[in-house]
Structure 1
Amino acid sequence: MTIFFKKLRWPDYLIVAVLLGFFSYIWLAIEGNLNYEWRWHLIPNYIYSWHTTREEWFANLLLQGLMATVRISIYASILALILGTFLGVARCSPNLTIRMLARTYLELLRNIPPVVVVFIFFFFLSQQLIDALNLERWARGIARQENNGIWEFFFGEMRRFPSLISGVIVLALFESAFVGEIVRAGIQSVPKGQREAARSIGMSRYQELRYIVLPQALHKVVPPMANQFITLIKDSSIISLISVQELTFKTVELVASTRLIFEAWITTAAFYFVICFGLSRLFARLENRRRSGQ
C-alpha cells in the first residue's frame, strides 16, 4: 500500500479530489433536492438473509441475480468462443461463399443495436429452440426431484432453466460476432511463411490450420479475448429485457417492491465493478507472467 501511494503524483491526487467532490455533490443534491431518505441498512438483507421458517441463511434477490449473471457469462463466453472461432476461420476461408456468409453475419451483428439483436434472436431462434426441445417440461421434471442439488449448482433454480438457456444463447450469438473478428485478426497476423512451410512438408489445409495457424493465432488474441469476456459480463444486463432473471432484472424487481432506488442500483453497479475490475487485474497479471516467461 505504501508503494502504491509513493507512485502517485499531484495530478492523481487532483483527479481523486475532483471525483470525491463530484460524488459528494451528487449525494447532497439527492438528499436536498429530491428529499430522498437513504436506507442502506436494508440492502444487506436483500443480498443474504435469514429464513425464519427453515431457520437457515439463503441467497436473496441481489445475490441470486449475481449468481445467475456469473453462470450466464461463463456459459455464454464458452459458446461464443466456439462459435466465434468457427466464424473467424470462415472469414479467412478461400471459399468466397463461406467467407461472405461469415462476413455478413459479423457485419450485421456488429452494426445493429444490441437491444434489437437480443429481441430478434430471442423470438426467432432461442425461444423456438426451447419449444422444439421441450426444455420447459424437462426442467420442471428435474425441479420436482428431491436430489437435484447438482443441477441447481450449475443452473440455479431449474424451473427457470429455459430462461437461463435463452439468455445464454442470445448473448453468445451476439458476442460471437466480436469474438469472430478477434479470431480473424489473429489468423491473419500469422506470417505467411508459417503457412508456406506447412504446405512444403505436405500438410493439408486442415492440418495447417489445426497445428500451425490456430495455436499461434489464439495465443496472440488472448488479451483482446479477455477484454471481450469482461465486456460480455457487462452486456449480460441487456438480456434482462427478455425477462432473464440475472442481476439487472433482480435489481428492477427490488426497486419496484421496496423503492430502494439509489441503494439498489449503486449496489448493483458495485457488484459489476468488483467482478469486471477484478477480472481485468487478473488478466493483466496473467498477461505479464506470460510475457515474462517468454
Structure 2
Amino acid sequence: MIEKIIEAIEAYETIIIHRHVRPDPDALGSQGGVACFIRDNFPGKSIYLVGEDVPSLTFLNRMDVIEDRVYEGALVIVCDTANQARISDQRYNLGEKLIKIDHHPNEDPYGDMMWVNTGASSVSEMIVSIFESRPEFTMSDEAARLLYAGIVGDTGRFLFSNTTNETFNRASLLIKKNFNRQELYDRLYQANLNLTRLNGYVLQHFELSDEGAGYMTITQDLMDTYSVKPEDASLLVNAFSNVENIKAWVFFIEEKDQIRVRLRSKGPVVNTLAAKYNGGGHPMASGATVYTWEETEQVLADLKEACRKYQ
C-alpha cells in the first residue's frame, strides 16, 4: 500500500491533505508529515493543508485557504480520520482521487485507496514508515518535529499501551534530526492559568463509582466561570486517570448545541460504547456526541456496566 500511495503522489501535481475536526497533535503531525514527505522528496508539486486552525496548536501547522477550483484534478489525502463525518473541510470528495490513511478501526471505509493499520500507535508513526520504505527518501528536521509530536501525543509520551517496539524504533529515527524536543514538549503540554484552575476543580469534584467508572461533567456555566473554551476543557480528560481502582472514565463537556462525550479506559472496551452514541475511536480512547443530559446518564450507566463486566 505504501508503494501505491507513493505512485499516486508521483502522478499528481496538486495534493490536498485533510485530517479530522478538532485536531490533536497526531492529526496535525501526520497531516504536516505527509506534506513534508512530499516536499522533501517530490519538489515542485503544489501542496495544501486544509481544515480549521486551532490557536493552541498553530505552532505545529497553519492551514491554507483554497478555493474549490484547486481540487480539480487533485489528489486528496485524509489523515487520522475514521469517519467521513469527522473530516475537517467537507470538500475532500472534490478531488480526482482520495486516499485514507488511518489507525482507527475501519468502520467507515472510504476513498479510492485505504491504508489502515490499527496496530500503529498513531498515523504519524505510519508516515515514518513511508520515509523508511526507500533508502533514497530524505526527511527534513521539520518532518521529524511534526511526526514526533504526533507520536508523543497519541501515546501519551509513550505511556499508553499502544506504544510498541516499532513506536520506539521510529521515534529513535526522528530524534536524530535537529529539532528542540524540550521546546516541543513544553508547547504541547503547557496550560494557561484558567485551565490549570479548572483542572483543580475537576480533581476536587470528579466522581468514581463502585464499578470503577470515573466521570465528570463540565457545563457551559462552569467553563464561563473559569473563562475556558470547550476544546480546552477537553484537554483535562486524563486529569484523574491515575486514581486507584479506576477502570474507565468519561468527560461530558457541554457545547452550544451538543454534549461531547470523551471516553478513556484502562481495560474495558469503550469504542463499541461510543458507537451507540454517534461516535467511535480506539478500544481504549473514544469520543461520542449526545444532545441531552438524560442521554449522558445512559452513557454513564453503560460505562458502569462495562466496568462491572471487565475482569
User: What TM-score comes out, normalization by structure 2 length?
Assistant: 0.21
Say which one has the larger Rg.
1
> Which structure dedicates a bigger proportion of its chain to strand?
2
> Which structure dedicates a bigger proportion of its chain to helix?
1
